A and B are shown apart, each in its own frame.
Chain A
Amino acid sequence: MKKFFNSIKQYPSAIIGILLVLLLVGLSIYTLITIPYNQAIQEWRGGEDVRRNVPKTARPTYINWFSSKKYSETVEFTSDEPDERIEKTVREMGKDLYDINITFTFDYDFDTFPQEMHLIFTSNYEEKSPFIFMTWYKPDGTEIDLGDIVVKPYENFRFQDQKLLNRLDGDSANIGLFAVPESQPREVQKGTYQLHVRAITFEEEADVEARLILFGELHGVAGTDHRRRDLSLALLWGAPIALSFGLLAALGTTFTTMFIAAVGVWFGGWVDELIQRITEINMVLPFLPILIMVGTFYSRSIWTILGVVILLSIFGQAIKNYRAIFLQIKESQYIEAAQSYGAGSWRIITRYLVPRIIPILIPGLISAIPSYVFLEASLAVLGLGDPILPTWGKIINDAQMQGALYNGYYYWVLQPAALLMITGLGFAMIGFALDRIFNPKLREV
Chain B
Amino acid sequence: MVEGSPLPIQEEAPPKDNSKKRPNTILRLLRYTAVKFVVLGISVLIGMYLTIMIANMGGYVDEIMKGQIRESVAISVSMDPEVKILSLAERNERIEAMIRIEEERLGLDQPFIGRSFKFLRNAMTLNLGRSQRLTSDTGSRQVRNIILERLPSTLVLMTTANFLLFFTSLFFALFLSRQYGSFIDKIVIALSPTSSAPPWFYGIFLLLIFAAILGVLPFGGMVAAPPPQETGAYLLSLGRHLILPVTAWMLSGFFATVFNMRTFFLIFSMEDYVELARAKGLTSREIQRRYILRPTLPNIITSFALMLISLWQGAILTETIFNWPGLGRMLYSAVQNFDTPVIIGSTVIFAYLLAVTVFLLDFIYALVDPRVRVGSGGPKS
Assess the B50–A281 pair: CB atoms within 8 A.
Answer: yes
Complex alpha-carbon distance, A297 and B316, angstroms? 18
Question: How many positions in chain A have a CB within 8 Å of any CB in the partner chain?
Answer: 63
Query: Which one, A293, A420, A441, A442, contacts B335 given CB within 8 A?
Result: A293
User: A410 within 8 Å of B by Cβ?
Assistant: yes
Q: Mark A409-424, 1 if CB is under 8 A from B, else 0.
A: 0100110010011001
Distance A413 CA – B57 CA, assembled complex (angstroms): 34
The residue of chain B having its C-beta at the shortest distance from the C-beta of A364 within the complex is: B3
Contact across chains for B320 and A405 when beta carbons are under 8 A apart: no
Asked if B258 lies at the interface with its beta carbon under 8 angstroms from chain A, I say no
Say what secondary structure dominates the interface of chain B.
helix
Say yes or no: A323 contacts B11, CB within 8 Å. yes
From residue B5, how far is it (CB to closest CB) to chain A in Å?
Answer: 9
Contact of A288 among B4, B270, B316, B338 (CB under 8 A): B316
Interface pair B193/A428, CB less than 8 Å apart: yes
Contacting chain B: which of A48-56, A69-77, A374-382?
Answer: A374-382
List, in ascending order, chain B residues with CB within 8 A of A285's CB.
47, 50-51, 54, 347
Query: Would you give the 0/1 interface string for B210-238, flagging 1 where the beta carbon is closer than 8 Å to chain A?
Result: 01110000010000000000000000000
* Known A284-B355, A378-B317, A413-B208; further 10 A-B contacts with Cβ < 8 A: A284-B48, A284-B51, A296-B336, A298-B60, A327-B14, A374-B198, A382-B317, A400-B321, A408-B212, A425-B193
Show 13 residue pairs from A and B whose CB-CB distance is below 8 angstroms, ordered by the A residue.
Answer: A13-B190, A277-B42, A280-B43, A283-B354, A284-B350, A321-B1, A321-B9, A364-B3, A371-B4, A382-B320, A420-B201, A428-B195, A432-B192
A-binding residues in B (CB < 8 A): 1-4, 8-9, 11-12, 14, 39-40, 42-44, 46-48, 50-51, 54-55, 57, 60-61, 64, 180, 190, 192-198, 200-201, 204-205, 207-208, 211-213, 219, 263, 266-267, 270, 313, 316-317, 320-321, 331-332, 335-336, 338, 343, 346-347, 350-351, 354-355
Which of chain A's residues have a CB closer than 8 A to the CB of B60?
297-298
Looking at B266, B270, B332, the one whose CB has the most chain A CB atoms below 10 A away is B332
Asked if A339 CB lies within 8 Å of chain B CBs, one says no
Bound-state Cα–Cα, A13 to B8, Å? 25
A429 within 8 A of B: yes
> Contact between A297 and B263 (Cβ–Cβ < 8 Å)?
no
B123: min CB distance to chain A, Å: 12
Q: How far is the CB of B80 from chain A (nearest CB, A)?
A: 31
Contact residues of A: prevailing secondary structure: helix
Give the residues in chain A near B338, CB-CB below 8 Å: 296-297
Contact across chains for A277 and B39 when beta carbons are under 8 A apart: yes
Q: B332 to A292, Cβ gap below 8 A?
A: yes
List A residues 301-331 near B (Cβ within 8 Å).
Answer: 317-318, 320-321, 323-324, 327-328
Shortest Cβ gap from A247 to chain B (Å): 15
Does A435 sit within 8 A of B, measured CB to CB? yes
Question: How far, in Å, is A374 (CB) from chain B's closest CB?
Answer: 5
Docked complex Cα distance between A381 and B315 (Å): 14
State whether the Cβ of A28 lies closer than 8 Å to any Cβ in chain B: no
Of the candidates B3, B55, B193, B317, the one whose C-beta lies within 8 Å of that of A429 is: B193
Is A427 in contact with B196, judged by CB distance below 8 angstroms?
A: yes
A residues 117-156 with Cβ under 8 Å of B? none
Q: CA of A410 to CA of B47 in the docked complex: distance in angstroms?
A: 43
With known contacts A381-B320, A382-B317, A281–B201 Cβ distance under 8 A: no
Cross-chain contact B14 with A363 (CB below 8 angstroms): no
B8 and A289 contact, CB distance less than 8 A: no
Chain A residues with CB under 8 A of B8 = 317, 320-321
Q: A289-B335, A296-B336, A417-B205 are in contact. Are A374 and B347 (CB under 8 A)?
A: no
Residues of chain A contacted by B213 (CB below 8 angstroms) = 410
A445 within 8 A of B: yes
